[in-house]
Structure 1
Amino acid sequence: MNRRDFLTFAAASVALPAWAHDAPASATQAAPPPADAPLVDHHQHLFSPAIARLLDTGAGGPSVIAAKDMIALLDAAGIRRAVLLSTAYVWGSPSRKIEDEYLKVRAENDFNGAQAALYPDRLLAFCSVNPLKDYALEELERCAALPDLKHGLKLHFGNSDVQLELPEHAARLRQVFAAANAKKMAIAVHMRASVSKHRPYGAAQARIFLEQLLPAAPDVTVQVAHLAGTGPGYGDPPSDEALGVLAEAVAAHDPRTKRLWFDAATMANPDITPPQREKLAQRIRQIGADRVLFGSDAAAGKNLRPRESWAAFRQLPLSEAEFKRIAKNVAPYWK
């Protein structure tokens, strides 16, 4: 999710952002879908009725988004498939006190798996969990045994208040990465540390990720969400600093980055400046277009829907060959 820690559901005590009061996801575009559409939207979310209720502070919350809504949005964009990144970690946010927390985490993951199973040729679900919770490894093991959730694990460092500079947090994350690797589960990770809590983030955290976490999961795809940032837009200096460390490692053919991919969800929105577009394009070229995945994030409120998200991405100063390459990229966990 984007909008710093609000769109990532970091704190329940703060009013929901403007998007939360808008209408449900819809796909009413009359024009035919674009011919150059990506094959896969690698960063999407469903909202179960329970999550929608949790985030409704009384002034209105995000609408339920089910698989049928996602399929309509994909059809409007001309996109064949999507990855559903469970938001079960929201129940485990340290900013909340939730009764029967783990039961709700399980139910949220199961909702995503069941919804994906309705369209098995088009939707793939990842389970999710706050990796610092006592039940994290148990839930990972449970998901790995379920046909509809065994494909991958979504981690959200900002919402879970992961601080990689803390040795105990880094050690815990190594455990989680190793457990996912053992179960052959891909890992999609929102690396950006909490913005609302003003946690440190930048080159130091990216080096820990590179030097300590990636070696713990050498055999599975690791997908860095939002190009190591949060969005919307590409203008957060700490995120660019973190991305720079990873991009340099990829460009240098560091073996630890062999299975490292990046999704660009929410980065190329219409509000970024021309210099930000140039910088974003430079980073994509530094990584290599063959490692960049299209993603658009939750189809809620003011977030761009998949069709509009691809149109905004097409405004970057990249070549047609680079756009074509990114549109055709499919993460290995889909193959």
Structure 2
Amino acid sequence: MDRRSFLTLAAASLALPARAFDVSAASAATDAPVADHHQHLFSHAIARLLDTGAGGPPVITAQDVVALLDEAGIRRALLLSAAYVWGSPSRRIEDEYTKVRAENDFNGAQAAPYPDRLRAFGSFNPLKDYALDELARCADVPSLKGGIKLHFGNSDVQLELPEHAARLRQVFAAANAKKMAIVVHLRASVSKHRPYGAAQARVFLDELLPAAPDVPVQVAHLAGTGPGYGDAPADEVLGVLAAAVAAKDARTRKLWFDVATVANPEITPEQQAKVAQRIREIGVERILFGSDAAAGKNLRPRESWAAFRKLPLKEEEFARIARNVAPYFR
């Protein structure tokens, strides 16, 4: 989720009852995906930070997410910390690193009571001085050690800058050394109009992926930001990555792609066709279902899967995507 999406979230909070996962009900929903690979929690602190006066996101807890999963017949979810928001260069935050740590710990603590349902990844701005320290700290927290979330847009990462590429290589290598999966919102800042296209995709392929050869790397939103699939630069990036996968490039051996917010009610038939084309170029075995934060106009997991099912894919392709589970859940 990018900063623009955060700032347009509705103010009404979720009021969802917690309930146990109904295996029989889930089994009846044979169409439902096994896992939602892209979810977010919002602490009270983050909700306040993102409230601009016109209404910000609700507080979202693990209990809220589990209720939504149950409603959709989905067994598991990945909770991606929003701690990177504290480190956005557009903000000046007092005791910034303290707040980053607290947000990551909130996510880990929320996931801990649901070990069979939820995984939590910590996050941070990878360009900050504390980035490697926070990665190492999260690696020592049982409920956060599985992986990290990096948001290039919110953190204003510019891969065409050698110093940024070098820093990201350090972060990818550190995650690899700690056996932490990486979920990366690859899309450069939209609001700042940063360059984004084939050149950035090549830096990702040539410099970042080789630094983390042993862990899963998940590209969020099919390399875009959502909602929908009308972002031409993102499609250019995805085309480069899809071609590398199709060519069996060894650097893409552990590369995955999630479809969070890609399909929504506003997506055009032409965009639907393009998404289906890219999915087939990549291969359905690498596609992970995800729905994004359950707030504002974002579709909830059940509705998100229904919207995804409207893409021009075959039933066996939907079935394979529904069964896909990222290695960090295993």
* TM-score, normalised by the number of residues in structure 2: 0.95
Task: Compute the displacement of 1:301 (Å).
Answer: 1.3
| Inter-partner Cα distance in structure 2 for 1:49 and 1:179 | 30
Alignment match, 1:21: 11
1:231 aligns with 2:226: yes
Match of 2:63 in 1: 68
CA distances 1:179-211 after superposition (whole Å, capped 9, x unpaired): 000000000000000000000001100010000
1:197 aligns to 2:187 (yes or no): no
Provide the alpha-carbon RMSD of the alignment.
1.3
Residue in 2 that maps onto 1:12: none
Q: Tell me which amino acid in the other structure corresponds to 1:256.
A: R
Q: How does 1:1-335 map to 2 (within 5 A)?
A: 1-2=1-2, 5-7=3-5, 9=6, 16-17=7-8, 19-24=9-14, 26=16, 34-335=29-330
- For 2:146 and 2:280, locate their aligned partners in 1 and report how far apart those are by CA, in whole Å: 29
Give the Cα separation in 2 of the matches to 1:249 and 1:155.
22
The count of corresponding residues between Structure 1 and Structure 2 is 322
Paired with 2:80 and 2:277, the residues of 1 have a C-alpha distance of 27
Amino acid at match of 1:20: A
Percent identity of paired positions between Structure 1 and Structure 2: 77
CA distance in 2, matches of 1:130, 1:206: 20
What are the Cα deviations for residues 222-277 of structure 1, in whole angstroms up to 9, with x where unaligned?
Answer: 00000000000011000000000000000000000000000000001111110110
CA deviation after TM superposition for structure 1 residue 57, in Å = 2.0
Contact 1:131/1:160, CA 8 A, preserved across alignment: yes
Structure 1 portions without partners, runs of 5+: 10-15
**Residue identity in the other structure for 1:128:** S
- Where do 5+ consecutive residues of structure 2 fail to align? 19-24
Distance 2:205 2:165 in 1: 11
Q: Is the 8 A contact 2:13 2:59 kept in 1?
A: no
Separation in structure 1 between the aligned mates of residue 309 and residue 13 of structure 2, nearest angstrom: 26
What secondary structure sits across from 2:155 in the alignment?
coil
C-alpha separation between the residues in 2 aligned to 1:59 and 1:264? 29
CA contact (8 A) 1:25 1:301 kept: no
Counterpart CA distance in 2 for 1:279 and 1:52 is 35
